[in-house]
Structure 1
């Protein structure tokens, strides 16, 4: 039920959403009519994106596909590197920082050092550079992170993610809602994944969502849940290993989050302790000196002997190479890694592998 203030705000925002929708529909039509051109490539190009702004879980799903394919194929991930302090094309190396390539590419490069991680806001140029690498380095599969609206590239497979708690068919166009484009944009997808599902969902819940989506016959629908791994130190050489079950219910936890949807992270932390203090920042937040000063003052006021600072994996990427992190934190700063679990995972894995084989066979012919 909307409050009076929300109704009033929607009244003023709806005309803007209407005009925004006209612009996006016209742009999509220009691509559909081939007035604006989408380029195809001779290798499998898999796009992982969404219809909405905000966190639907693109990074863990991209990492899932990397993990699925990395032993069999040379993989490259191409991202725009949101909020990086650089421009143009950059191919990440072991010395790259989150400031240079963005927090999510930095996270993936640290987790998968042997995988090509590149950033370029111009995805077409980025793919061309990757495919011009020497043959022994050239990727056999390219994953596009958050590129569903980047229609100058025509991916061989499009995967769209939608948060279970804010499904695209219940949402509205920006700025009234969070949709980047109209709901019928889902028609370009080959695969739709409903993310952040509850573990106790019943078959009827899946069927209701499937019916409401009204997907086309060729489109596949999957469901995933978040799985939290054991917590890890941000600075392993300075902090002891710590398991979740070792955290006492009366221990203070300062929870730092700069992600789009922090609620699941907060709920998970509250399973470990009754004394969790969340401090929430905007998505992709760059931590500055005044942030650390306020956070440190809060942390120093905590009195339990086993107190700790817990952050998300994405925030850890920004904190790890931030010179402003207080030295006193490094023995107490941990992050909570996440992976994803498919409710019908084997079928998803087979779909991805079969697609790659099909594209490669077509390229040879």
Structure 2
């Protein structure tokens, strides 16, 4: 892997030069960015996936949904459609994408939209809402948001932050200067104050105005597919874990620490499962030794896997999923919540 990365470094240099040139065009106003007369909050990252944008977006939804007429807007990665859609409860992940569908299922009273042209979509929905929340739009420079929340995976600071294709970064670390708030996600509970100070100092080379917050992952109780079915303690079942996410390592670590017995089938992020994949899952389930066999997946994957056709192949097996939340200590939770709420209130009163 290291040899491959070395071979790809010239392409990463070219990629970095192109993206840097593009960003400078926007910074200098040669390419125009649009602003809007309402709070537009962007949650994004510099890396390719795996930083916890969905849990952070859900944290903000919970914070604002009872205070404002809130709309969320996503591109809808992984969907097989194009254009602007209002996400309904009966929609499928193939129509609107897994993350927007997850938001709609968890917050049915919140408006959820998808559209690859973020600016055109905002202009379409802005008259009816007080706040618009976008996930994964930090690189969408045609949009100049009123508040940018930039996420980094804690582990990404332990290794070189190389641009694509040798590494996983879409932008250089210097682009963190545009962020209003920075959140270091998936922070281990045992992380020391000194290790956090090292990260703050590194980010301060580019951004001295944004407060840096540290958040961990909080897993919820297993949610069974069937209503009123009882959830199974992790240590009691024989699981087949199916994931199509960018970074399953934190989940694997959690399951190991909980004493779960599992076999893991890993697919690409936002993977569109096929009938052949489900038949493979059925075959693996049939071959697992022992009893009390269950299929476990992530909440995002569940949006793509819980279909009538897939469930028919898997019968009598059913899905369960493990929900996830972003977790701040009480002080930082109060501080970041106050910053976001103050921004929306001040924007509305200005």
Match 1:184 to one of 161, 174, 185: 174
Shift in Å, 1:323: 2.1
2:100 to 96, 101, 105: 105
List alignment gaps of at least 5 residues for structure 1.
133-137
Q: Structure 2 vs 1, CA of residues 37 and 105 (structure 1 numbering), >3 Å: closer, same or farther?
A: same
**Which of 331, 356, 361 does residue 344 from structure 2 map onto?**
356
Alignment partners' CA distance in 2, 1:205 and 1:58 = 23
State the match for 1:41 in structure 2. Answer: 36
Structure 1 contact 292–326 (Cα < 8 Å) conserved: no
Deviation of 1:244 (Å): 2.3
**How far off is 1:93 after superposition?**
1.7
1:285-300 aligned at under 5 Å gives the runs 285-300=271-286
SS in 2 for 1:323: helix
Corresponding position: 1:174 with 2:160: no
Judged with a 3 Å threshold, the aligned counterparts in structure 2 of structure 1 residues 184 and 38 are, in CA distance, closer, same or farther, namely same
Find the counterpart in structure 2 of residue 160 from structure 1: 150
1:272 CA displacement: 4.0
1:71 aligns with 2:66: yes
Using the size of structure 1 for normalisation, the TM-score is 0.91
Distance 1:128 1:244 in 2: 47
SS of residue matched to 1:180: coil
The question of 1:307 aligning with 2:296 is answered: no
Q: 1:262 aligns with which of 213, 237, 248?
A: 248
* In 1: Cα distance, 2:335 partner to 2:73 partner: 25
Q: In the TM superposition, what is the alpha-carbon distance from 1:269 to its structure 2 partner?
A: 2.1
SS of alignment partner, residue 159 of structure 1: strand
Verify: 1:198 aligned to 2:188, yes or no.
yes
Partner of 2:10: 15
2:282–2:313 CA contact under 8 A, matched in 1: no
- Distance apart, 1:168 and its partner CA: 9.1
Contact 2:42 2:138 in 1 (8 A): yes
Q: Shift in Å at residue 333 of structure 1? A: 1.6
DSSP-derived class of the 2:212 partner = strand
> 1:307–1:340: structure 2 CA closer, same or farther, 3 Å change rule?
same
Q: Secondary structure at the match of 1:114?
A: coil
Q: TM-score, normalised by structure 2?
A: 0.94
Give the one of 315, 319, 323 matched to 1:333. Answer: 319
325-334 vs 74-83, greater mean Cα deviation: 325-334
CA distance in 2, matches of 1:330, 1:88: 37
Deviation at 1:126, TM superposition (A): 0.5
**2: CA distance, partners of 1:351 / 1:170:** 31
**Contact 1:44/1:156 (CA < 8 Å) preserved in 2?**
yes
1:241 corresponds in structure 2 to 230
1:217 is matched with: 208
How far, CA to CA, are the matches of 1:329 and 1:207 in structure 2?
51
- TM superposition shift of 1:157: 0.4
Q: Which has the higher mean CA deviation after the structures are superposed, 198-207 or 35-44? A: 198-207
Q: Alpha-carbon deviations, 1:300-327, whole Å to 9, x = none?
A: 1223332211100100111123522335
Deviation of 1:241 after TM superposition, in Å, equals 1.4
**Distance in 2, Cα, partners of 1:57 & 1:274:** 23
- Quick one: structure 1 residues 110 and 274, their matched pair in 2 at CA, closer, same or farther if it must change by over 3 Å? closer
Q: Is the CA contact 1:17–1:174 (under 8 Å) kept in the aligned structure 2?
A: yes
State the SS of the aligned residue for 1:35: coil
Contact 2:126 2:132 in 1 (8 A): no
For this pair of structures, how many residues does the alignment match?
A: 347
| 2:77 counterpart of 1:87 | no
Contact 1:244 1:272 in 2 (8 A): no
Runs of 5+ unmatched residues, structure 2: none
Offset, 1:243: 4.1
Q: How many angstroms apart in 1 are the aligned matches of 2:269 and 2:243?
A: 8
- Per the alignment, do residues 330 and 286 of structure 1 end up closer, same or farther by CA in structure 2, a change over 3 Å counting? farther
Conserved 8 A contact 2:279-2:313: no
Q: Distance in 2 between matches of 1:331 and 1:298?
A: 12
